């Protein structure tokens, strides 16, 4: 395409100047700069203020946790102590002691239950129980069941659910009671039980007491509407005895030990926090009535834990306070301060924006209109009259710039036109060269295919042979040969070093060398042909000073079939002959050195009988080395042999497309890495389907 040089054109008419865009942009940036400065100052002030506020909140939070713990301790101590004292009086009454010593005396039993019913009205839960060590009978009465002076059930030492009884009796002399959270299976109730040991002198004859419904106990003493506050009751060893999450409560501590997840230590991260909890528990026991406070991570939150010990109940009252959620201090005044700062910042920004608009933006507006026109190609526009300040210097610089740009624009248009013509010519030359190269390679492929003995093999062997020839590029370095004489046939495959054009040229040299060898030594000895070809190749390339990176060697596999003697003579250079009878696969290996290798090979003939039920295969390494599968490994000899067995029952003409499909399925998305040639022949009847493995 020919391009005409650009003709001078009048500059386009400038668009209407958009002064407001520059005006608004500068004003917005100025206001934004002021806003950022104010926000930066407020940020530092906020950080300092927040640290002060956080310190105040921690101080008041600790006082809040201490007072709340003491309040909760007192609210639990008074009613629970009352029930504990009543339980002791009931357990130590003379009437109860007389009846327990003679359980089956009707008068004593009647007198005891009259007294017990009087106690029941004073208990908080209106219930009481007696468990007798001798008979292991368990008596229980409350408001939910009809009165009975007969045992509700008999305790069984073999049952883990009744282990609380024996565990209570095993307590030392100094411990005449325990408070145990347990689920009574026969009664089907979960209570906080007050277990008082009944003694006859030093002999333990039973356990008596009362119980509080666990749900009612948690509702009355543990549940709270205060946000961020979690009251907890721990046993003397740290096991959870009351918690609003009942799954964390350690059941039946009188007979067993708590699981780690049912202790407060198990709810804390291992390490210093668990050690701090242990120290706080020890200090609380040593100083009853005081409150120990420490920081811990509970339920994934940083919380303040305050605990106090109640020696009368052998309980620790713990209050966990989340300072971020609890209403420790009134922060409503912060909203007023923030609102005042926002209003003040808004007034400051409005005033600053007004000043920037009148003092800076209006003088720039005229210069902006002129610059916009220049940006659209109109360099003839008049610039504002320059003043004596920085804006005047900017106007003078714009005038000089407009003149220089006008001159450079004309010069650049001429250069662009010339360069465009040169590029068009170069593009046409490249297209012609590319077409010539493709035409030459296609012609080379036609020549290479014409030298392959496909027609001769069909004429001589008919349907008892096939060739799978797949060069990696348009032309390749693989080829196959066939020559027939009166006595027999010579068949073979050769793999020259290189691919594409280089490999194709090597095949021409190899074909010429091999034809010369066949004319000199005949075709009856494949080993003699390989030796003659090897020496000829070395003689031709001996005086050529080739770079060390260029390979001139080739692999070969030649098989001579003597039809009269019904024998096959094979010799190979790094190529094997495969024999398959439908049941097994045999491999006759060639010599390990290629033709034209650094040292000459020692090629020898191998004679084998020519069997009618055997198919023979020659393949280059392109088939065996093709990458594929899940891991990109080569196809390999083992998989190749299995493929021959799997398709040995097919007619030989149908095996070629099957092998081609097997290779493509294995290769999948991997590219073909080498030229591929597979030659197969057979002399005799085709194997029947019964030979299929």
DSSP secondary structure letter of residue 363: H
Q: Which of 107-121, 247-261, 651-665 has the lowest mean pLDDT?
A: 247-261
pLDDT for residue 61 is more than 90: no
Q: Which two tokens stand for residue 368?
A: 């902006």
Nearest to 619 by CA among 578, 660, 569: 578
Show the beta-strand stretches assigned E in 71-149.
128-132, 137-141
Q: To which H or E segment does residue 204 belong?
A: strand 203-213
Compute the distance between CA of residue 412 and CA of residue 419 in angstroms, rounded to an integer.
10
Query: Among 307-321, 373-387, 452-466, which stretch is predicted with the lowest mean pLDDT?
Result: 373-387
- Mean pLDDT for the stretch of residues 277-294: 83
pLDDT of 620 strictly over 90: yes
Lowest mean pLDDT among 88-92, 180-184, 253-257, 609-613: 253-257
How many whole angstroms separate alpha carbon 84 and alpha carbon 90?
A: 10
**Lowest pLDDT segment from 209-218, 312-321, 391-400:** 391-400
26: pLDDT confidence band, cut at 50, 70 and 90? low
**Strand ranges across the sheet with 567-573:** 478-484, 488-496, 554-562, 567-573, 606-609
- Residue 633: the pLDDT is 94
d(CA 47, CA 192): 49
Q: How far apart are CA 38 and CA 128, in angstroms?
A: 71
Around Cβ 663, how many Cβ atoms within 10 Å? Answer: 22
**Positive or negative, the Cα torsion across 94, 99, 105, 106?**
positive
**Residue 603 pLDDT more than 60?**
yes
3-class secondary-structure state, position 603: coil
Residue ranges of domains in the chain, CATH in brackets: 18-329 (3.30.450.20), 453-691 (3.60.40.10)
Position 412 confidence tier, pLDDT thresholds 50, 70, 90: confident
Please give the Cα distance from 554 to 677 (Å, whole number). Answer: 14
Contacts with 242 (C-beta within 8 Å, 6 or more apart), sequence order: 181, 192, 214, 217, 218, 221, 222, 231, 232, 233, 249
Stretch 187-191: mean pLDDT, rounded? Answer: 80
Picking from 357, 362, 395, 368, the residue whose alpha carbon sits closest to that of residue 16 is 368
Separation between Cα atoms, residue 281 and residue 235, nearest integer Å: 10
Closest listed residue to residue 587, CA positions, set 556, 613, 618: 618
| pLDDT: which is higher, 683 or 626 | 626
Judged by average pLDDT, the poorest of 59-73, 234-248, 354-368 is 354-368
**Least-confidence region, from 77-81, 230-234, 377-381, 527-531:** 377-381
Question: Is the pLDDT at 324 greater than 50, yes or no?
Answer: yes
CA distance 476 to 438: 15
CB 502 within 8 A of CB 548: no
Most confident of 85-89, 335-339, 531-535: 531-535
Q: What is residue 14's predicted lDDT score, i.e. its pLDDT?
A: 46
Mean pLDDT of 477-506: 90
Report the C-alpha gap between 561 and 488 in whole angstroms: 5
Checking if the pLDDT of 18 tops 60, the result is no
Question: Which range is least confidently modeled, 53-62, 105-114, 604-613?
Answer: 53-62
Closest of 59, 38, 257 to residue 160, by C-alpha: 257
Q: What percent of the chain has a predicted confidence (pLDDT) above 90? A: 30
CA distance 573 to 154: 96
Would you call 211 helix, strand, or coil by DSSP? strand
Report pLDDT for 23. 52
Residue closest to 205 by CA, chosen among 174, 175, 178, 165: 165
> What SS3 class is residue 157?
coil
Euclidean distance between CA atoms 209 and 87, whole angstroms? 5
Paired residues of 126 in beta bridges? none
Dump pLDDT digits (tens) for 87-131: 889 888 888 888 988 888 989 889 999 998 988 888 988 999 999
Task: Characterize the bridge pairing of strands 585-588 and 606-609.
Answer: unpaired
Question: With bands split at pLDDT 50, 70 and 90, how would you rate the model's confidence at 449?
Answer: confident
pLDDT, the chain, mean: 82
Listed residue (512, 508, 523, 611) closest to 571, CA to CA: 523
What is the value of pTM for the model shown? Answer: 0.44
Report whether pLDDT(49) > 70. no
């Amino acid at each position: 395409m020919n391009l005409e040089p650009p003709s001078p054109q009048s500059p386009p008419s400038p668009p209407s100047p958009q002064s407001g865009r520059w005006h608004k942009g500068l004003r917005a940036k100025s206001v934004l700069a002021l806003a950022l400065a104010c926000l930066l100052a407020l940020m530092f002030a906020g950080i300092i203020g927040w640290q002060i506020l956080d310190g105040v909140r921690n101080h008041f939070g600790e006082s809040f946790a201490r007072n709340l713990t003491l309040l909760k301790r007192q609210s639990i101590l008074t009613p629970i102590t009352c029930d504990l004292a009543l339980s002791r009086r009931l357990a130590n009454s003379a009437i109860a002691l007389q009846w327990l010593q003679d359980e089956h005396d009707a008068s004593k039993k009647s007198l005891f239950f009259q007294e017990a019913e009087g106690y029941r009205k004073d208990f908080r839960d209106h219930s009481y129980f007696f468990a007798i060590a001798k008979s292991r009978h368990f008596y229980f009465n409350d408001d939910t069941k009809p009165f009975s002076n007969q045992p509700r059930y008999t305790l069984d030492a073999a049952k883990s659910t009744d282990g609380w009884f024996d565990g209570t009796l095993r307590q030392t002399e100094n411990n005449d009671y325990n408070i145990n959270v347990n689920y009574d299976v026969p009664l089907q109730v979960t209570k906080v039980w007050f277990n008082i040991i009944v003694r006859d002198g030093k002999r333990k004859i039973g356990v008596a007491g009362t119980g509080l419904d666990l749900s009612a106990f948690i509702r009355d003493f543990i549940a709270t509407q205060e946000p961020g506050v979690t009251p907890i009751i721990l046993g003397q060893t740290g096991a959870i005895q009351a918690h609003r999450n009942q799954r964390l409560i350690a059941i039946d501590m009188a007979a067993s030990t708590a699981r780690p997840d049912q202790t407060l230590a198990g709810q804390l991260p291992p390490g210093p926090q668990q050690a701090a909890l242990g120290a706080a528990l020890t200090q609380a026991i040593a100083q009853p009535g005081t409150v120990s406070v420490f920081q811990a991570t509970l339920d994934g939150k940083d919380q303040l834990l305050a605990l106090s010990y109640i020696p009368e109940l052998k309980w620790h009252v713990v209050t966990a306070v989340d300072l971020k959620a609890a209403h420790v201090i009134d922060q409503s005044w912060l909203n007023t301060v923030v609102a005042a700062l926002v209003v003040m910042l808004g007034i400051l920004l409005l005033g600053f924006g007004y000043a920037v608009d009148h003092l800076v933006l209006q003088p720039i507006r005229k210069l902006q209109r002129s610059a916009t026109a220049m940006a659209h190609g109109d360099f003839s526009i008049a610039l504002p009259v320059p003043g004596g300040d920085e804006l005047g210097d900017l106007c003078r610089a714009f005038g000089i710039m407009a003149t220089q740009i006008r001159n450079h624009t004309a010069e650049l248009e001429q250069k662009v036109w010339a360069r465009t013509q040169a590029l068009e010519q170069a593009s046409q030359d490249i297209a012609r060269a590319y077409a010539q190269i493709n035409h030459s390679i296609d012609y080379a492929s036609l020549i290479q295919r014409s030298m392959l003995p496909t027609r001769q093999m069909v004429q001589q062997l008919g349907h008892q042979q096939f060739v799978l020839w797949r060069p990696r590029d348009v032309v390749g370095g693989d080829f196959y040969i066939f020559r027939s004489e009166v006595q027999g046939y010579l068949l073979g495959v050769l793999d020259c070093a290189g691919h594409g054009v280089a490999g194709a040229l090597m095949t021409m040299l190899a074909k010429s060398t091999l034809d010369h060898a066949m004319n000199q030594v005949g075709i009856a000895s494949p080993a003699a042909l390989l030796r003659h070809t090897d020496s000829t190749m070395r003689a031709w390339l001996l005086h050529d000073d080739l770079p060390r990176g260029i390979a001139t060697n080739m692999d070969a596999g030649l098989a001579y079939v003597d039809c009269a003697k019904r024998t096959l003579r094979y010799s190979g250079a790094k190529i094997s002959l495969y024999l398959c009878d439908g049941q097994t696969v045999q491999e006759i290996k060639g010599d390990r050195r290629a033709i034209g290798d650094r040292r000459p090979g020692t090629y020898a003939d191998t004679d084998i009988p020519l069997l009618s039920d055997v198919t023979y295969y020659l393949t280059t390494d392109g088939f065996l080395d093709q990458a594929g599968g899940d891991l990109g490994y080569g196809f390999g000899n083992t998989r190749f042999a299995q493929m021959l067995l799997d398709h040995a029952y097919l007619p030989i003409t149908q095996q070629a497309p099957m092998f081609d499909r097997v290779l493509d399925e294995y290769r999948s998305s991997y590219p073909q890495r080498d030229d591929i040639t597979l030659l197969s022949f057979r002399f005799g009847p085709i194997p029947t389907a019964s030979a299929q493995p």
